[in-house]
Structure 1
Amino acid sequence: METFDLRYPFTRPAAAPNSVVLAMGFFDGVHLGHQAVLAKARELATAKGVPLAVMTYDHHPHIVFQKLPNQYQYLSPIKRQNELFAATGVDVVYRVSFTSKLAKLSPQAFVDEVLMTLHPLAVVAGFDHTYGGDVKVANMEHLPEFVAGRFEVVSVPKADFHHEKIGSRTIHEVLEAGNVDLANEMLGYTYQTTGVIVHGEALGRTLGFPTANVLTPADEKIPGVGVYGVRIKIADKWYDGDASVGYNQTIGEGRPKTLEIFIFDFHEEIYGENVEVQWCHYVRGMEKFNGLEALVDQLHQDEVDVRAFFASK
C-alpha cells in the first residue's frame, strides 16, 4: 500500500496511479460502516481494473471548525488506520492536511481542485459525508451536480447495528461507557491501542498482582474506568491478562488515572517496551473496597473471570 501526504493546493504525486476509484471520508476506526464504503469502492475498482484509493485527512476536522475542551482522541491514529486500510485491500492512501483553506473551499472548488487532481473514475462515500463548510450543499446528494458527469458518484447507505447507525462518535461513547464488547461488534474487529511500559508505584506487586503500567499516547481513545479482559503484545507475542483503568481509590483519594495490566503467567521485566493492547471484554466497573483484603479477593475473582472468558473463545 502506497501513502501520499498532501497539503492544499496540491498536484497529483508523480508516483500516484493514473486513474483510481476513490473512497472518501475520515475513517476514524475503520468501523463496519467504513468497511461497507471500502467494499463498494473495491468492487468498483476491480470492475474498472484500477487501484482502490482512499482520500482521508491527517487530523479531525473538528480541530479546524471549533475549540475543543481536550485533545481529540482517535479510535485509529494514523499508523493504526494504515494497518486497517491495508487489511481491507486499499492500494493507495491520499492523506490530506485538513486546514482552514481546505475547509473554506466551495463544493465546486473542492471537486475541481481536489478530487479531479486525483484522477478518479468513481468516488464512493457514506451517505452522510460532507466536503466543505456549507453542509447544506456540500453533501453526497448534491455531489453529482458539481461533478457534472466527469466521474461516477456512489453514495453508500448507513450501516445499522440493532437499528442504530454505526458511527465513530457512537463508538467513542460506547468505549467511554466501558462497553468494549459492543464497540468490537460495531468495529468488526477487536479494539486496539498502544503504549509504552513505565514504572508505577509497584502497589500491585505488594498485593501479589504485579501489573504492567502502560503509558498511552494522549491522542488515543482508552476505554472508560473499569476492569477488562485484554490481550497485550510484547515483542511480537500476545499474552492474556486483565486491565484496570481507574484511580486506585482503595489506596487513596485524588490519584491519577492509570492503565495497569496484570499479565497472566508472565514474569519478565519489560520497562520501556512498546506494546499493543486489545480490549476484548468488559468485566466490571471500578469499586472502592473496604480495605486491601477485600481488594485482593476481587483481584483473584477478576483473574478467574478473565481466564474463563478467554478459555471460552
Structure 2
Amino acid sequence: MKVIYLTEPYNPNEISNDSISLAMGFFDGVHLGHQKVIQEAKQKANEKNIKLAVMTFDKHPSVQFQKAPEQSVKYLTSMEKKILLMKQLGVDIFYILTLNNSLAKMEPQDFVDKYMVALHAKVVVAGFDYTYGKKDIANMDTLPLYAKQKFEIITVPELATNHQKISSSRIRMEIDNGHISDVNKLLGYKYETLGKVVHGEARGRELGFPTLNLEFNEHIRIPGPGIYVTSVQVGDVWYRGMASIGYNVTFGKNRELTVEINLFDFNEMIYGQIVTVQWLAYLRSEVKFEGIPGLITQLNKDKKNTNTYFDQHI
C-alpha cells in the first residue's frame, strides 16, 4: 500500500497517476460502518479494474472547525494503527490530508476539483453524513452538483445495531463505560492500545500479582475504571493478563489513575518497552477492600475468571 501525505497547496506530482475508486471519511476506529464504506469502494474498484484509494485527515475535524484543544481529543486509532488496518482491508493508496487553514477554508467546488477529480477518482464513496465543508452546502446530497458527472457517486447508508448507528462517538462512549465486548463487536476486531512500561509502586509484586504499569499516549482512549481481561504482546509473544484501571482506592484517597496489568506466566523486567494491549472483556468494577487478604482473595477470583474467559473464547 502506498501512503501519500498531502498538504494544501500540494504539488500535483505527489498524486498517483492511477485511476481510483475513492473512499472518503475520517475513519477513527475503522469500525464496521467505515469498513462498509471501504468495501463498497473496493467492489467498484474491482468492477472497473482500478485502484482502491482511501482519503482521511491527519487530525479530527473538531480540532480545526470547533477549535477543540488538540490535547483533549482521544482517538480510537493512532495513525499508525489506521494505516495498518487500511492495508489489511486491501487499500492500494492511502491519502492523508493535513487539515490546515487553507484546506478548511476551501470552497466545496475547489475541494471536489482538487481532492476528487484531480486524484483521478472515477468513483467516490462516502457515508451518508460525510461533509467536505459547511454541512448545509457540502454534503453527499449536493456532491452531484460539484461533481458535474466527472465521477460516479455512492452514498452508503448508516449501519446500525440494536437500532443505534454504529459510529465512532458511540464506540468512544462504550469504551468510557467499560463495555469492551460491545466495543469489539462494533469495531469488528479487538480494541488495542500501545503502552509504555514504566515504574510503579511494586505493590502488586508484594501481593503475589506483579504488574506492568503502563503509560499511554495522551491522545489514545483507554477504557474507564474497572478490571479487564486482556491479551498483551511483549515482543513477538502474546500473554494472558488481567488489567486494573483505577485509583488503587484500597491504598488511600486522591490517588492518580493508573493502568496495571498482571501477566500470567511472565516474570521479566521490561521497563521502557512498548507493549500492545488487546482489551477483551470487562470483569468487574474497582472495589475498595478493608484489608489486604480480601484484595488477594478477589485477585485470585479475577485470575480464575480471566482464564475461564480465555478457555471459552480463545
Q: What TM-score range do you get, normalising by the shorter chain?
A: over 0.9
Give distance in 2, aligned partners of 1:172 and 1:296: 32
Give distance in 1, aligned partners of 2:194 and 2:28: 16
* Equivalent residue, structure 2, for 1:21: 21
* Equivalent residue, structure 1, for 2:65: 65
Gaps of 5+ in 1: none
* Equivalent residue, structure 2, for 1:185: 185
* Equivalent residue, structure 2, for 1:114: 115
Give distance in 1, aligned partners of 2:247 and 2:166: 31
1:229, distance to aligned residue in structure 2 (A): 0.2
Instruction: Tell whether 2:93 aligns with 1:95.
Output: no
* Equivalent residue, structure 1, for 2:79: 78
SS in 2 for 1:304: helix
- Residues 114-160 of structure 1 show CA distances to partners (whole Å, capped at 9, x for unaligned) of 2222110111001111111x201211111011101011111011111
- Residues 36-55 of structure 1 show CA distances to partners (whole Å, capped at 9, x for unaligned) of 00100000001111110011
1:59, distance to aligned residue in structure 2 (A): 0.5
Instruction: Tell whether 2:48 aligns with 1:48.
Output: yes
SS in 2 for 1:45: helix
After superposition, residues 110-149 of structure 1 pair within 5 angstroms as: 110-132=111-133, 134-149=134-149
Give distance in 1, aligned partners of 2:15 and 2:6: 13
* Equivalent residue, structure 2, for 1:241: 241
Give distance in 2, aligned partners of 1:302 and 1:295: 10
Instruction: Tell whether 2:177 aligns with 1:173.
Output: no
Amino acid at match of 1:292: I
* Equivalent residue, structure 1, for 2:265: 265
Amino acid at match of 1:111: V
1:67, distance to aligned residue in structure 2 (A): 3.6
TM-score, with structure 1 as normaliser: 0.97
Give distance in 2, aligned partners of 1:11 and 1:149: 25
1:113, distance to aligned residue in structure 2 (A): 2.4
CA contact 1:11–1:117 (8 Å) conserved in 2: no
SS in 1 for 2:22: strand
Amino acid at match of 1:289: F
Instruction: Tell whether 2:235 aligns with 1:229.
Output: no
Give distance in 2, aligned partners of 1:119 and 1:140: 19
Amino acid at match of 2:94: V
Amino acid at match of 2:19: S
* Equivalent residue, structure 1, for 2:276: 276
1:112, distance to aligned residue in structure 2 (A): 1.5
CA contact 1:18–1:119 (8 Å) conserved in 2: yes
1:88, distance to aligned residue in structure 2 (A): 0.7
1:14, distance to aligned residue in structure 2 (A): 4.5
SS in 2 for 1:195: strand
* Equivalent residue, structure 2, for 1:204: 204
Give distance in 2, aligned partners of 1:233 and 1:104: 43
1:269, distance to aligned residue in structure 2 (A): 1.5
Amino acid at match of 2:195: G
1:298, distance to aligned residue in structure 2 (A): 1.0
1:12, distance to aligned residue in structure 2 (A): 3.5
SS in 2 for 1:268: coil
Deviates more, 1:159-168 or 1:287-296: 287-296
- Residues 182-232 of structure 1 show CA distances to partners (whole Å, capped at 9, x for unaligned) of 000000000000011111110111111100011111111101111100000
SS in 2 for 1:26: coil
CA contact 2:55–2:97 (8 Å) conserved in 1: yes
CA contact 1:23–1:123 (8 Å) conserved in 2: yes
Give distance in 1, aligned partners of 2:213 and 2:57: 32
CA contact 2:6–2:97 (8 Å) conserved in 1: yes
Q: What is the count of residue pairs matched by the alignment?
A: 312
CA contact 1:12–1:118 (8 Å) conserved in 2: no
Q: Could you list the structure 1 runs, at least 4 aligned residues long, displaced by more than 4 angstroms after superposition.
A: none
RMSD: 1.2
Give distance in 2, aligned partners of 1:127 and 1:13: 31
Amino acid at match of 2:249: Q
* Equivalent residue, structure 1, for 2:194: 194
Deviates more, 1:97-106 or 1:199-208: 97-106
Give distance in 1, aligned partners of 2:79 and 2:110: 27
